[in-house]
């Protein structure tokens, strides 16, 4: 069955990039993996491919748009009900938007997806993580070094009520990931492990999310970027 046969993991953004690679790695070790994806079609395609590659039939799909907090609440409640413990939560899903977008909840979309959704999902699963002495992995970025959450009232940053710049919004969200990871580690020391990481400059779908000049240039360099 593999070294992780008794373990359960949840991976967000699991249909591509880092999330898909993490899912495949865990599945290879025999783990039960819950794949959280925004698109049912892409999620099912990734699940079927990983199942064929690994021979692991303990994969399952949950569909949720993490930019909508009601969907995150529904996802978290369902997972908490269905799982008696959780060994690992990989907070990976991420976006970057060329132009300012506001979610149905009134938050700036990059911050809502990259940070607020994962903050809420983690909070909803804390009991299940603590039951297993589990680990939370926050996929952040070296871009967090350019984040500056003190540049304006925090509420204004969260709501997108200030001048919008795509890289700044992304950097702010990744700084929020790191701060959350550190505080989670401090508060739950001995019960839950919390880590944040920079995965490297990788050839993932995030470079194709926008059609700006910068995105097109970055996408052109994907062949020399690292593999997820």
pLDDT in tens, 106-145: 999 999 999 999 999 999 999 999 999 999 999 999 999 9
Q: In what order do the strands lie in the sheet with 59-63?
A: 59-63, 32-37, 8-12, 88-91, 135-139, 193-197
- Residue 149 CA to residue 172 CA, distance in Å, equals 6
pTM: 0.88
Mean pLDDT of the chain: 92
Token pair for residue 24?
Answer: 């495949």
For the chain, give the longest Cα–Cα distance: 52
Which residue in the list 4, 107, 170, 180 is annotated as catalytic? 170
**Mean pLDDT across the stretch 81-96?**
97
206 vs 154, residue with greater confidence: 154
More confident residue, 3 or 201: 3
- Buried b / exposed e over 211-227, threshold 16 CB at 10 Å, is eeeebeebbeeeeeeee
Told to judge if 170 belongs to the known catalytic residues of this protein, a careful annotator would answer: yes
């Amino acid at each position: 069955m593999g070294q992780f046969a008794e373990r359960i993991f949840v991976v967000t953004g699991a249909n591509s990039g880092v999330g898909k690679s993490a899912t495949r790695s865990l599945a290879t070790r025999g783990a039960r993996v819950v794949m959280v994806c925004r698109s049912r079609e892409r999620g099912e395609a990734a699940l079927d491919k990983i199942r064929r590659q690994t021979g692991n039939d303990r994969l399952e799909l949950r569909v949720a748009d993490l930019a909508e907090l009601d969907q995150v609440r529904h996802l978290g409640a369902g997972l908490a009900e269905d799982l008696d413990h959780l060994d690992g939560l990989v907070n990976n899903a991420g976006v970057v938007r060329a132009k300012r977008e506001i979610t149905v909840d009134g938050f700036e979309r990059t911050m809502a997806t990259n940070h607020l959704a994962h903050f809420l999902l983690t909070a909803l699963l804390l009991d299940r993580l603590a039951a297993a002495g589990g680990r939370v992995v926050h996929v952040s970025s070296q871009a967090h070094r350019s984040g500056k959450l003190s540049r304006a009232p925090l509420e204004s940053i969260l709501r997108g009520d200030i001048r919008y710049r795509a890289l700044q919004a992304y950097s702010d969200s990744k700084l929020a990931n790191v701060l959350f990871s550190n505080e989670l580690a401090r508060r739950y020391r001995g019960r839950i492990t919390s880590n944040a990481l920079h995965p490297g400059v990788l050839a993932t779908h995030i470079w194709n999310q926008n059609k700006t000049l910068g995105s097109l240039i970055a996408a052109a360099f994907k062949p020399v970027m690292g593999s997820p």
